[in-house]
Every structure is written in C-alpha cells, then in structure tokens.
C-alpha cells in the first residue's frame, strides 16, 4: 500500500534549521526560526504561565475529557480578548467559539466548516502569506486564490492592487486577512485601510476570515484586534482564528480558538453544533493543559495583569530590535534605506535582498534566514547585532 509514497523534500525552514545546527562557527546567528527569543536566545516560559500551571496541577483531580468545544472559561476569555467584552456580537449571542489545537488546528477546523457550509467558496489569501495557510486550507477542500498584498520593491502594502483584486470577489467568497503582525512581511493594514476593506466586504458580500496569531505583539492587545473588532461590528458573518502560541508563549501546548460571528443567535447555535461536529471528525477532543493555562490567566486579575506586562516586554523587545537593526545598518553606511523595518510589526520582515545574498550571508557569514530574506527580529540581540549588520552590509 505505501510503496507508492515517495519521500518528500524536507520543509525549507526545517532544512535551514538543520544547516544551522550543523554549523560549528561560533559567530553563527539564526534569524530563521519562527519563535520569540530573549536576549540570551532562549524562548522562555512566562512567569504568569508557570504560576497558572502550578495552580492547575494542584487543583486537578481528573484527566477525563473536557468536551469537544474545549475549556469554556478559555473560550469565553478568548471571545472577550478578541472582540472586547462588550462587543455587540457578544451581546447579541452571535459568536460561537471552540478551542482548537493551536492556530493551525483552528485554521483547519474553520476551513472545513467553510467548505461544509459552501463547498464552492473561493478563499483569497494575501501574496505572500504564512506558507502553511495553503496546505491547511487546501486539505479542507477549499479553492484558494491569491490577492496582491506586499510590494517588495517599495516595502509597503499595495493597497490599490489588493482592493482592485478583491473587487472581483462576490457573495459567498472569503478573504483571509492577517489580523496584525503579518507573517512573513510585517506590513499591517492601517485603521483606515481596515475600514475600506470592511466596506468592500460588505458591498461585495465577502466574508472576512481573520487569522490573529500575534495579538499583543504589535501595539497592544486592544489595538491589535482593531481590524477583527471592526469587521465583527460591520459585517454579519466573520471568522476569527486565534493562536496563543506567541502571545502566551504556549507553542508546544497547542492552544488556539475559532470564533464564528453569525448574522443572528439562531444561526450562531447551528454554527456551534457544526464547529463541534467538524472537530469531532478530525481530532475529537482538543488538548487541555495549554487552554486551561490561558483560560486561568485571562480570568484571574493578578495573572492577567502579569501577562499584560510580560507580553509588553516581548513586544517592546521586538520593536526595540527593529529600531536597533535599522540604526546599526545606517551607521555602517548601508547603501540602502532599511528604515521600513522599524515601521513594520511583529517578529518578521523581509530584508529585501537577493537569494544569492541570502546564501552568501549563510555560507560566508553564518547568518541564517529564509531564502525569501525573511528574518525573525527576535533572533537579534545586543551581542550579535553589530555582526549581523556588518554581514548584511558586506553582501550588499
């Protein structure tokens, strides 16, 4: 049976990670990984997470299933986090939320739900987008298309080309939008652009599907949900998938959610049963531990305050590194203006250099990034920033 299966080439990012591990040069720097790192290059467990974890383990008396929709406290906490506690969609009981195994599991459940509701739906993704969007949503059976998003020459969103393309969508189509901290380009929609996009979706009957994997890593928890909240206010139907991997640092615990806003409370109840039924058919029950932690942090005033502070530390570190790298490159007289990096948000930006320059950085300077020149700013620290800037200037 399996003799027909051929070995697949390793994922590009896994290949780069393996090259980095094998590299013995003490100057090596990894800007390819997709996780937050502190000044010591470590991805720490937040103190609020540790505390919640201790409390949960002490109080836990059973390991029986929690239920298909997952932890109810977590789901209510996520709804309030995403939409704001007094959002009209919540007041009108138009929001159905299910806990999911990470943002990836949430995208998978949402994809299957959309396909079940409307099998001919086209889902339009930004070009570029997170590479996993494509296989995850394709596996759900959805037809995928791309809309122009980032102009790599000008380092800005090509909003004119984006909206011109989306004008071709019609009733029943879906547009997937990164809620904030666009992965991979770091260029986010302004409030005015969100408004224009909401107006376009309303006029064309397009459903927004918002992937919010970095809430709190750009400006703050509320500002980063601006687009999702606006869409949920102005449009009858919106899908929001969230991940707690980055903002809680709960990567390996697999914590995320899917929230579907429907036009009325009755539809919302039907959606909730379908969300549970889709999840039942894929993995049956979500993992408990991570969502129990996030739920506890969201509900405890003390732990939440601590989380908000720790998350600000993560955000300020990344935004500070953006400014630092730009300043170091300018100090060295880099023959290009890299100031766009300071204006972008989240962990990622494209340096905008060629594949050959990326390879030279890796082979001659031991500085690793994706072939597209996407870097994770959090891989930079005070000890390596001069070396990184010298190396980039050397290959330009």
- Give dist(CA 69, CA 279) in Å, integer: 8
Q: Which listed range, 81-89, 99-107, 314-322, 366-374, lies at the site for ligand PLP (CB under 6 A)?
A: 99-107
Minimal distance, residue 109 CB to ligand PLP, in Å:
12
**8 Å CB contact between 74 and 292:** yes
Minimal distance, residue 34 CB to ligand PLP, in Å:
5
256 binds ligand PLP per the rule CB under 6 A: yes
Binding mask 335-364 for ligand PLP (x = CB under 6 A): ------------------------------
Q: Which of 245, 259, 262, 384 binds ligand PLP (CB under 6 A)?
A: 245
Binding mask 180-199 for ligand PLP (x = CB under 6 A): ---x----------------
User: Of the residues 130, 173, 224, 307, which is catalytic?
Assistant: 130
386 catalytic per annotation = no
**8 Å CB contact between 385 and 322:** no
Minimal distance, residue 393 CB to ligand PLP, in Å:
29
Q: Which of 187, 213, 377, 392 binds ligand PLP (CB under 6 A)?
A: 213
**Phi/psi of residue 10, nearest 5 degrees:** -65, 150
Interactions with ligand PLP, residue window 270-329 (CB under 6 A): none
Interactions with ligand PLP, residue window 117-136 (CB under 6 A): 130
Q: Which listed range, 98-106, 298-306, 314-322, 371-379, lies at the site for ligand PLP (CB under 6 A)?
A: 98-106
Element (H, E) at 328: helix 301-331
For the record, the structure tokens of 130 come out as 């997170």
194 catalytic per annotation = no
- In what order do the strands lie in the sheet containing 238-243? 95-100, 256-261, 238-243, 207-212, 174-178, 122-127, 143-148
Residues 6+ apart with CB under 8 A from 330: 338, 339
Name the H helices within the chain: 12-22, 47-59, 72-83, 88-91, 102-117, 133-139, 159-166, 191-204, 226-234, 265-282, 289-299, 301-331, 340-343, 355-365, 385-395
User: Of the residues 30, 158, 173, 211, which is catalytic?
Assistant: 211
Q: Which of 53, 211, 310, 344 binds ligand PLP (CB under 6 A)?
A: 211
Element (H, E) at 266: helix 265-282
34 binds ligand PLP per the rule CB under 6 A: yes
**Phi/psi of residue 150, nearest 5 degrees:** -105, 135
Which residue, 251 or 387, is less far from ligand PLP as judged by CB? Answer: 251
Q: Which listed range, 7-15, 96-104, 271-279, 312-320, lies at the site for ligand PLP (CB under 6 A)?
A: 96-104
Q: Whats the size of the chain, residue-wise?
A: 396
Q: Whose CA is closest to 373, among 362, 388, 359, 358?
A: 358
Which residue, 239 or 392, is less far from ligand PLP as judged by CB? Answer: 239
Q: Can you tell me which residue has the tokens 């397009």?
A: 206
Element (H, E) at 29: strand 29-30
246 catalytic per annotation = yes
Q: Within 13 Å, how many C-alpha atoms sit on residue 233's CB side?
A: 14
Which residue, 20 or 214, is less far from ligand PLP as judged by CB? Answer: 214
Total interface residues for ligand PLP by CB under 6 A: 13
Q: Which residues bind ligand PLP (CB under 6 A)?
A: 34, 102-104, 130, 178, 183, 211, 213, 243, 245, 251, 256
Residues involved in catalysis: 130, 211, 246
């Amino acid at each position: 049976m399996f003799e027909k299966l051929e070995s697949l080439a390793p994922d590009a990012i896994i290949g780069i990670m393996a090259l980095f591990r094998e590299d013995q040069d003490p100057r090596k720097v990894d800007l390819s990984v997709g996780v937050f790192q502190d000044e010591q290059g470590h991805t720490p467990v937040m103190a609020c997470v540790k505390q919640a974890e201790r409390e949960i383990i002490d109080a836990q008396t059973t390991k029986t299933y929690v239920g298909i929709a997952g932890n109810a406290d977590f789901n209510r906490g996520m709804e309030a986090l995403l939409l704001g506690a007094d959002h009209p969609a919540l007041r009108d009981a138009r929001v159905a939320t299910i806990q999911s195994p990470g943002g990836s599991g949430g995208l998978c459940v949402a994809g299957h739900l959309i396909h079940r509701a409307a099998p001919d739906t086209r889902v339009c993704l930004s070009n570029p987008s997170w590479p996993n969007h494509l296989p995850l949503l394709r596996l759900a059976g959805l037809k995928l298309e791309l809309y122009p998003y980032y102009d790599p020459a000008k380092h800005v969103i090509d909003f004119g080309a984006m909206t011109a393309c989306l004008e071709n969508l019609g009733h029943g189509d879906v547009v997937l939008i990164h809620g904030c901290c666009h992965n991979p380009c770091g260029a986010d929609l302004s409030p005015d652009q969100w408004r224009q996009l909401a107006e376009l979706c309303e006029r064309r009957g397009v459903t927004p599907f918002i992937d919010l994997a970095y809430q709190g890593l750009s400006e703050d928890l509320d500002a980063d949900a601006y687009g999702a909240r606006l869409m949920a206010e102005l449009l009858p139907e919106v899908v929001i998938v969230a991940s707690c991997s980055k903002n809680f640092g709960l990567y390996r615990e697999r914590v995320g959610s899917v929230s579907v806003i429907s036009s009325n409370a009755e539809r919302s109840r039907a959606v909730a049963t379908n969300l549970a039924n889709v999840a039942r058919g894929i993995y049956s029950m979500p993992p408990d531990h991570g969502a129990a932690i996030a739920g506890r942090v969201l509900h405890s005033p003390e732990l939440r305050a601590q989380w908000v502070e720790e998350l600000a530390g993560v955000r300020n570190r990344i935004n500070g590194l953006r400014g630092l790298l730009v300043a170091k490159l300018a100090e060295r007289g880099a023959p290009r203006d890299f100031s766009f990096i300071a204006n972008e948000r989240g962990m990622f930006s494209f340096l905008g250099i060629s594949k050959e320059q990326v390879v030279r950085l890796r082979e001659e300077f031991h500085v690793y990034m994706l072939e597209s020149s996407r870097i994770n700013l959090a891989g930079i620290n005070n000890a390596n920033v001069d070396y990184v800037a010298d190396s980039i200037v050397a290959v330009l």
